[in-house]
Amino acid sequence: MAHRPPQLDNTPNIPDILERAEDLNLMLHHLESTSDSTEMPEYNYFDRSGLIQCSVSSGMLNAATKLAGDSDPVLRCVLICSLYEEGYTELAEQHLLEIVHKLFPPRTPYQEAARIYGEILYDQARYEEASAIFAALAEACPSMASVRYASAACRLQEKVLRLRRRMELYHPDQDERLKIEKYIHGFLDMLAFIEQTHWHSTWNDKQKSNLPEQISANIKQNRP
């Protein structure tokens, strides 16, 4: 008996895919341009998460915020991660500050959001606060190796900062100054080694254009 070929009637063809993509694009632009979110289409978590990421990468931040809403912690974290990944660190921080009380101790689904908050604090030279977050994450998520490197980087930055302040405050003599500078260079060498683990997020040129100027300057300063 001959076998019939598989039926493809239910398989979407290219025109259908393109039409759906166009419909989604129109919907996102509508959400972006209007202040009314009462006609929000119903999507499952997977689709809505993808739409949030797509909206942020396309610069449609208003649409992304509406898609995330305020009540669902998972979608809120997707929004924060998407904003941060695209260089909108100030907006990501604003959302993080609204849920900062939920980041300690870091539990699902807030662990990645907590890591991002730690990076933001690090780039603001708030090393002690960042170190506390990374240490808590290392305890809660032993398999998240990057936060251990992050915690070590924070401690080294604190040491460098204290030594530089010591020189500014006490104006040590030449011998003492050389000794302190030797320690600083040693810590900077260790920071450079830790930097090779790529524990910190990076951005491409397009994403860097979204970074605040001060944060860009701090990031350059923090890189040995």
The pLDDT of residue 122 is above 80: yes
Query: Sign of dihedral through CA atoms 38, 26, 41, 75?
Result: negative
Q: How far is CA 158 from CA 151, 206, 216, 219, in A?
A: 11, 31, 20, 15
The pLDDT of residue 80 is above 60: yes
CA atoms within a 13 Å half-sphere pointing along the CA-CB vector of 167: 17
**Residue 158, Cα to own-chain centre: how many angstroms?**
22
Angle value at C-alpha 39, between 38 and 43, nearest 5 degrees: 115
Q: How is residue 68 written in tokens?
A: 């995330």
Contact 80, 72 (CB under 8 A): no
Domains and CATH numbers, the chain: 42-222 (1.25.40)
The pLDDT of residue 123 is above 60: yes
Average pLDDT of the residues in 140-152 = 95
pLDDT given for residue 33 in this prediction: 85
Please give the single-letter amino acid code of residue 200: H
Chain segment 36-63, per-residue pLDDT in tens: 655 566 778 788 899 999 999 999 999 9
